[in-house]
Chain A
Amino acid sequence: MAVEIQVRINGKTQQNEVEPRLLLVHYLRDTLGLTGTHIGCETSLCGACTVLLDGKAVKSCTLLAVQADGAEVTTIEGLAGQSGNGSGLHPVQEGFWEKHGLQCGYCTPGMILTSVELLRRNSEPSETEIRHALAGNLCRCTGYQHIIEAVRYAAEKIKRASAKPGRPGKTRKSGRR
């Protein structure tokens, strides 16, 4: 009954036999031990389980592991490795830390990965654009305001890094809009 799948996860190829009904999130968490991806609702509504699948932010609680066969998956554990700046943190992770973008931390990995995808699509999102991009990720602690500041911080940081490679420079204090 088991099906063999091959998925590239956080830059490493994984090969496993899985039950066809195994959810992607359980494959990541239980089979591979990548427990940074959380489960909040099992219905795609809360976004805690968000990962990047071939670069797109997807909710891994309503995808089957077999649907990820042949794909590339990035989880929170592998995100920093992709930033390539050697700081150990992706700019979005850094923004969440700097701006107090989290409290209990449960929604945070999903929130960060959705933000990463947003900034790849839109490098200078407005407050409204950030709010809409994050509407599929629920947070019960922060009231979202510091998360928005965190995303702005990251946007600024990424912009400066790409303008002057190797020189992060000074970051604008993020205020409204």
Chain B
Amino acid sequence: MATAMRHIGKPLKRKEDPRLIQGLSHYVDDLQMAGMHYAGIVRSPHAHARIRSVDTSKAQAAPGVVLVLTGADLKGLIGPVPCAAQLPEMKMALRPVLAHDRVRFVGEGVAVVVATDRYLARDAMDLVEVDYEPLTPVVDPEKALAKGATVLHEPYKDNVAFRWELEGGDIKKAFKQADKVIRQRMINQRLIPVAMETRGVVADYKPGEKQLTVWSSTQIPHLLRTQIAAMLGVPESSVRVITPEVGGGFGSKLNVYPEEALVAHLAMRLGKPVKWIESRRENFLATIHGRDQIDDVEVAVKSDGTVLGLRCRVIADLGAYYQLLTPLIPTMTGLMIAGCYKIPAVRVEITGVLTNKMSTDAYRGAGRPEATYIIERVMDLVAAELKKDPVEIRRKNFPQPNEFPYATPTGVIYDSANYQRSLDLALKMANYKKLRQEQARLRKQGRYVGIGLSTYVEVCAMGPSSAMPAGGWESATVRIEPTGSVNILTGASPHGQGQETSFAQLGAEVLGLDPEDVQVVHGDTAIVPYGIGTFGSRATAVGGTAVYKSLLKLREKLAAIAGHLMTEDPSKLVFADKRITARISKKSIAFGEVVGAAYAAKTLPPQMEPGLEATTFFEPTNFTFPFGAHICVVELDAETGDVRLQKYVSVDDCGNVLNPLLVDGQVHGGIAQSVGQALLEEAVYDEQGQLITGELMDYAIPRASDLPWFETARTVTPSPVNPLGLKGVGEAGTIGATPALVNAVVDALSPLGVRHVDLPVKRTRVWQILQKAGRRGK
């Protein structure tokens, strides 16, 4: 990138906001069409049962009902929910669109009712009678692995979905040479993503044109289109997927769900537009969950704090079926478990387990928050064991800035970093030394004050296609229209991240225009070239690079035309202020005039094609590895167990930044979701496999009043992986913050001899620990 930027790096307020703040945008449920029908899914109340029979006669006869279908009716008509993951010797656990012989989790679809009105559809759902024969539910993943456990997917003999191992370095030697070995079991609880907009699908079929249009609240319109075509057995060219405004995803909409193919099928079958909107209760039961690991970790250390080796056994609860990426998520934990430390030997063994619950899959961070949690808790365990400051232990094990690109023993190549710099800045912002002094003073008064630290690295900008199940490139077409306005068509599918603004900044920068002159289009497979989508902090680093490269191609063409028109050297032209100007002679021509010439095609350089359109499919050579340091302060209320968050400092390095306002927003939101995981949220299934946290009443996502003021800053270490030096920031907060928060709580409890507290650190848990210690504070 050039040095003096007019638009890149500026906190431009968002172009998407005016429609969103005035109620002028359209989410799926806002679509209204003549003749719209409404679908409702009848779901299993049992975690595990055989379906003896389904009687739909009463529902069929109910007012307004036009169609009722069961799983048996759909057999052979719609393929199963796809899974893109492949692991060696992995069992298949594919989910039918509607269950036909057996249900395997509470919330699995059994029948669908279609009516002319959403209230009438809801009425008729209660009239579908399903005769279930309950089977033993398998809920606890460790019990699911035990001999004699009921098997979910016969004819398989057990519930092991896969075993996956990763080893690098000499792990036996590491443990042999250790002065100390520290062991800890850690729980990474099951979470529910809770995008504020639930899922929803509208489908419409035009039989004459044989065109099926599906509007879905998804993060991956193109992949969804491919999969819907495959599930329905129709040509992909006859399917159009449109993502209208999407009200949050966090990975939960990086998927292909039964309803997306089912509603499309219903629209084709009935010749009417059909709408299905997920209720919040359904969203809890039947949209993917996240995390859910049991991690047994062992660390080999020398007495000076040098970490020699790390061993971890992971039990990953996958739920009953695979969704798009289910089995892959825990492998990300394996890849990132060494964190930002030089650990010469690492061994990870992962067992994926099938249980009678909703599938787990990618929830913001997807495997990396687990890795970071494990390694960052480990660093604090080491510090506690060796009676050293957690800062010192971390510094001791960081690679030096001149060691990048740095290869971990498991073969991951970290692109660029300066872990020391981000940590130093965070310590300075938090005034760490003074915090420790203050803590010592308050401890003398019997108060429970804790300081928590986390230094993280994560893997972003997913990614090189060799490491991605469905390709890791991203597409962008830039088209300059005859009037000079610019359309950027991106294969990424933003849903709150703000790329309509940041890509417009990019366009304005490269072409010397204003961001208002650049329109970003996304989320319509009939308009935008095939793309991969928005997830894995990839939209800016991979998608933005594709945009940038297409812009450069067009700038080159415009320069050639302008040079030809002005008889100037095209390589010595400057694009600024909507003009193209020769650097030396200062001869200048309006941008619009050159665009006009490209379309009029009368004065073009010889052999040049008319028109101004360029497409790039950008394939990254590696992932990027953002990093940072988070520090927080908590005080525990000895009477109630409340964890009071008093200070939060984060320093994040996501490489170069297109729009700092958007980066701050991503960081804040990520930290808030971490506060949820660390202190509030937990998806709980009872022994019968009933989700007892199935509503917002029971599943506590953070409210405004639960959070402190976040003090954020950035260091900038550009990534060498893409020409803009971008790393990505969508998940950093959720990855870095959870361990900092738990480390702070453990630090607060450390005078009581506490070395570890499991997630989530709810007030009941803190209260119990304080009660048990028999030391009610002050």
Q: Which residues of A contact B (CB under 8 A)?
A: 19, 21-22, 26, 29-30, 33-43, 45-46, 48, 75-77, 80, 89, 93, 96-98, 100, 102-109, 112, 127-128, 130-132, 134-148, 176
B188 within 8 A of A: no
Chain A residues positioned under 8 Å from B194 (CB to CB) = 140
Interface residues on B, range: 35 or more
Given A76-B23, A127-B709, A40 contacting B664 (CB threshold 8 A): no
B72 to A: closest C-beta gap in Å: 30
Chain A residues positioned under 8 Å from B669 (CB to CB) = 103, 140-143
Q: List 25 A-B contacts (CB under 8 A).
A: A22-B119, A35-B30, A39-B29, A40-B280, A42-B281, A43-B695, A46-B696, A77-B22, A96-B21, A97-B14, A100-B662, A100-B664, A100-B665, A105-B25, A106-B248, A109-B23, A112-B21, A134-B705, A136-B703, A139-B196, A141-B196, A143-B670, A143-B672, A143-B702, A145-B668
Q: A34-B23, A108-B20 are in contact. List 12 more A-B contacts (CB 8 A).
A: A30-B32, A41-B696, A42-B281, A100-B664, A103-B496, A103-B665, A105-B25, A112-B21, A135-B705, A137-B704, A144-B704, A146-B664
B681 to A: closest C-beta gap in Å: 11
B271 to A: closest C-beta gap in Å: 22
Chain B residues positioned under 8 Å from A22 (CB to CB) = 119
Chain A residues positioned under 8 Å from B697 (CB to CB) = 43, 45
Chain B residues positioned under 8 Å from A42 (CB to CB) = 279-281
Given A100-B13, A141-B669, A35 contacting B704 (CB threshold 8 A): no
A30 to B: closest C-beta gap in Å: 8
Chain B residues positioned under 8 Å from A35 (CB to CB) = 23, 26-27, 29-30, 32
**Which B residues, 645 to 703, have Cβ-Cβ distances below 8 Å to chain A?**
661-662, 664-665, 667-673, 695-697, 701-703
Identity of the chain A residue whose Cβ is nearest the Cβ of B12 in the assembled complex: A100
B495 within 8 A of A: yes
- A106/B29 in contact, CB under 8 A: no
Q: Which of A46, A108, A134 has the most CB of B within 10 A?
A: A108
B195 within 8 A of A: yes
Q: Which of B195, B709, B733 has the most CB of A within 10 A?
A: B709
Q: Which residues of B contact A (CB under 8 A)?
A: 13-14, 16-18, 20-27, 29-30, 32, 118-119, 194-198, 245-248, 250, 277, 279-281, 495-498, 661-662, 664-665, 667-673, 695-697, 701-705, 707, 709-710, 733
- A105/B668 in contact, CB under 8 A: no
Given A102-B17, A103-B497, A107-B196, A132 contacting B696 (CB threshold 8 A): no
- A108/B661 in contact, CB under 8 A: no
A99 to B: closest C-beta gap in Å: 8
Chain B residues positioned under 8 Å from A147 (CB to CB) = 704
Main secondary structure of the interface of A (DSSP, over half): loop
Chain A residues positioned under 8 Å from B664 (CB to CB) = 100, 146
- B668/A104 in contact, CB under 8 A: no
Q: Which of A29, A106, A136 has the most CB of B within 10 A?
A: A106
Identity of the chain B residue whose Cβ is nearest the Cβ of A103 in the assembled complex: B496
Residue in B198, B245, B701 whose beta carbon sits within 8 Å of that of A138 in the complex: B701
A145 to B: closest C-beta gap in Å: 5
- A142/B665 in contact, CB under 8 A: yes
- B195/A104 in contact, CB under 8 A: yes
Identity of the chain A residue whose Cβ is nearest the Cβ of B194 in the assembled complex: A140
Q: Which of A22, A43, A48, A100 has the most CB of B within 10 A?
A: A100
CA distance A93 to B13 in the complex (A): 13
Identity of the chain B residue whose Cβ is nearest the Cβ of A21 in the assembled complex: B119
- A104/B248 in contact, CB under 8 A: yes
CA distance A10 to B29 in the complex (A): 22
- A104/B197 in contact, CB under 8 A: yes
Chain B residues positioned under 8 Å from A43 (CB to CB) = 280, 695-697
B450 to A: closest C-beta gap in Å: 21
Residue in A41, A75, A134 whose beta carbon sits within 8 Å of that of B280 in the complex: A41
CA distance A145 to B23 in the complex (A): 22
- A45/B695 in contact, CB under 8 A: yes
CA distance A148 to B669 in the complex (A): 13
Chain B residues positioned under 8 Å from A39 (CB to CB) = 29, 277
